[in-house]
Structure 1
Amino acid sequence: MTYVIHGATGAQGAPVVAALTAAAKSVTALTRNPDAVVDGARVVAADHSSTEELTAAYRGADAVFVHLPVVSEDDRRIHAHHIVAAVRAARPARVVFSTSGAPIDADTAGAAAMLVSGLAEVGVSHAVIAPTFYLENLLMPYVVDAVRERGVLPYPIRADFPASWASHLDIADAVVALFDRPDITGVVTVGQYPAITGPDLAEAFGARFGKSVRFEPITPEQFRSSVAPLIGEDPAADVAAFYTAMSTLPDRSITAENSAQKLLGITPRTTGRWLADIGL
């Protein structure tokens, strides 16, 4: 069986590639860098903005893992359009899409919602992985350096805001499971359940670092200015808008009914387990 993985050298795609190659699966690693080397995989350079290149990569695939890059929302919509067009043309046997935490409600005009509705219209077998917040966000220098230097974990959510945090490793576990479970379609939520709060995160970091760590709520604007040098001004503005919207909600918890725990028998890592697994 042949598996095509978007962003194969990136934070989300690389763990999926690693899990598949470890199981001796045939993997096609999609990347924008034609000179990239991915152990155990065939590398194919494909541009998200080219239906033709994506179609060629998808054709004959048993499964494709898709997630949208961290660029401006306008560019993400363009990418979503070409991905759906390529799936329509190539008709891979199975598609698994991670929303990366973006909203996918029917009345949302965002790229993730556009891609979900497009896959449904095409009619190929597919599942949608819906995480809430990524634990890897806490590895950004602005956050983890504050933990190390000041014993503070800063993040743009309220201290009493429960969320179902998940790691990229948890997403990879769900992707690999869904590749083998074409009977599971629709949305699968991935994250810690029951949900945890910012102080819970700080406690886990403190236990790992062997020091007292407290949670510090910051504003979306503070977060925007901290991530802009890493991801660019437009994506950073979109991130800030996302957290501003989150501030109006009571929580961002998954529900048990469509969770990976129930549907796939997979329990996402605790924050402490994740920290240990990445060797921080």
Structure 2
Amino acid sequence: MTYMIHGATGAQGAPVVAALAAAGKPVTALTRDAGAVVDEARVLAVDYSSPADLTDAYRGAEGVFVHLPVAPEEDRLAFARNVVAAVREARPARVVFSTSGAIVSADGDGDGGRDDSAESAVSVLVAGLADSGVSHAVIEPRFYLENLLLPNVIAGVREEGVLRYSLPSGFRTSWASHLDIADVATELFERTDITGVVSVGQYPAVSGEELAEAFSTRLGRPVTYEATDPHVFFAPLAPMLGEQATATIADMYRAVGTQPDHSITAERSAQKLLGITPRTAGQWLADLAL
């Protein structure tokens, strides 16, 4: 039996493929591109819009890794319902779903960044998995360190010694890498005793100034932090993501920034539940050989 990984050629799915393959697990890369080549994985063309294709892919699977793509919420809702329908019909041995930053746990920090309304795609998928009777776990990160590699961010670091990001100065959040998500997903496929939400991110949370310090240490020269208005910061992504999705992301960041912090809690952390400590910013930069 194999492990089915959605978005296997993308930023989130590719590290999961690599981690499972390194552990000697058989992997099938689920992608919309039938011609894609994925090292150490069989490629299967599957679209979230087809419940039949999803059901065929999931049937007999040892595990399924799911995350919803960036798309209009109406589409994401349809994708979530299709995944739930396929899980109920195919009944894979285990499903691990990453919320990609949406907060669904009851101990979330206020309303900023939450996605727990009855009709949000993430919550529909979480509730559907809970009702399916299939073994599952939900990975709940906050922000990804890979966001700091966006061209408009890393260029400022390299050319000006300034780390610009759309969070207030001094604001603390529990950053995690896609590599950390892969580590946790791989462990959760084995640890079927762990169900529900597993929060992934640095604890205690860190500020933008501390991230800039990590860049400074890695590069051997001063790097400072500069807060940027979210709508200004994300504007360059509109041609790729679309105006609506870009505005939604910017609004989320603005809401998050009004909270005291954006930290995970220790109780449901990967550190406590799985004994996995996410990379520090310095460790992440070293892993990238940046």
TM (norm. structure 2) is 0.94
Q: Take 2:116 and 2:146, find their aligned partners in 1: how far apart are those partners?
A: 28
Q: Secondary structure at the match of 2:214?
A: helix
Instruction: Please tell me whether residue 279 in structure 1 is matched to residue 281 in structure 2.
Output: no
Q: Secondary structure at the match of 1:93?
A: coil
What residue is the counterpart of 2:218 in the other structure? Answer: 208
The Cα shift of 1:109 comes to 3.3
Instruction: Please tell me whether residue 19 in structure 1 is matched to residue 15 in structure 2.
Output: no
Q: Take 2:286 and 2:118, find their aligned partners in 1: how far apart are those partners?
A: 37
The Cα shift of 1:73 comes to 2.0
Q: Take 2:118 and 2:217, find their aligned partners in 1: how far apart are those partners?
A: 39
Letter in 2 for 1:255: T
% same residue: 64
Q: Take 1:89 and 1:48, find their aligned partners in 2: how far apart are those partners?
A: 15
What residue is the counterpart of 1:263 in the other structure? Answer: 273
Instruction: Please tell me whether residue 61 in structure 1 is matched to residue 71 in structure 2.
Output: no
Letter in 2 for 1:7: G
Letter in 1 for 2:76: R
8 Å CA contact 1:161, 1:198 repeated in 2: yes
The Cα shift of 1:81 comes to 1.1
8 Å CA contact 2:84, 2:125 repeated in 1: yes
Q: 2:145 aligns with which of 112, 135, 138?
A: 135
What residue is the counterpart of 1:37 in the other structure? Answer: 37
Q: Take 1:32 and 1:86, find their aligned partners in 2: how far apart are those partners?
A: 17
Instruction: Please tell me whether residue 165 in structure 1 is matched to residue 175 in structure 2.
Output: yes
Q: Secondary structure at the match of 1:275?
A: helix
8 Å CA contact 1:71, 1:234 repeated in 2: no
Q: Secondary structure at the match of 2:14?
A: helix
8 Å CA contact 1:7, 1:31 repeated in 2: yes
What residue is the counterpart of 2:262 in the other structure? Answer: 252
Structure 1's consecutive aligned runs of 4 or more residues displaced over 4 angstroms after TM superposition are none
Q: Take 2:19 and 2:8, find their aligned partners in 1: how far apart are those partners?
A: 12
8 Å CA contact 1:73, 1:238 repeated in 2: no
What residue is the counterpart of 1:180 in the other structure? Answer: 190
Q: Secondary structure at the match of 2:173?
A: coil
| Comparing 149-158 and 220-229, the one that deviates more | 220-229
Letter in 1 for 2:52: E
Q: Secondary structure at the match of 2:95?
A: strand
Q: Unaligned 5+ residue runs, structure 1? A: none
What residue is the counterpart of 1:219 in the other structure? Answer: 229
Q: Take 2:119 and 2:51, find their aligned partners in 1: how far apart are those partners?
A: 21
Q: Take 1:27 and 1:16, find their aligned partners in 2: how far apart are those partners?
A: 9
C-alpha distance after superposition, 1:219-250 (max 9, x if no partner): 11112202223333222122112112112211
The Cα shift of 1:108 comes to 5.2
What residue is the counterpart of 2:133 in the other structure? Answer: 123
C-alpha distance after superposition, 1:55-98 (max 9, x if no partner): 11000001100001122222211111111111111111110000
Please give the root-mean-square deviation of Cα atoms over the aligned residues, in Å. Answer: 1.2
Q: Secondary structure at the match of 1:223?
A: helix
What residue is the counterpart of 2:79 in the other structure? Answer: 79
Q: Secondary structure at the match of 2:267?
A: coil
| Comparing 122-131 and 68-77, the one that deviates more | 68-77
TM (norm. structure 1) is 0.97
What residue is the counterpart of 1:193 in the other structure? Answer: 203
Q: Take 1:72 and 1:137, find their aligned partners in 2: how far apart are those partners?
A: 20
Letter in 1 for 2:259: L
Letter in 2 for 1:266: I
Instruction: Please tell me whether residue 94 in structure 1 is matched to residue 94 in structure 2.
Output: yes
Q: Secondary structure at the match of 1:107?
A: coil
C-alpha distance after superposition, 1:32-75 (max 9, x if no partner): 00000111111100011110111110000011000011222222
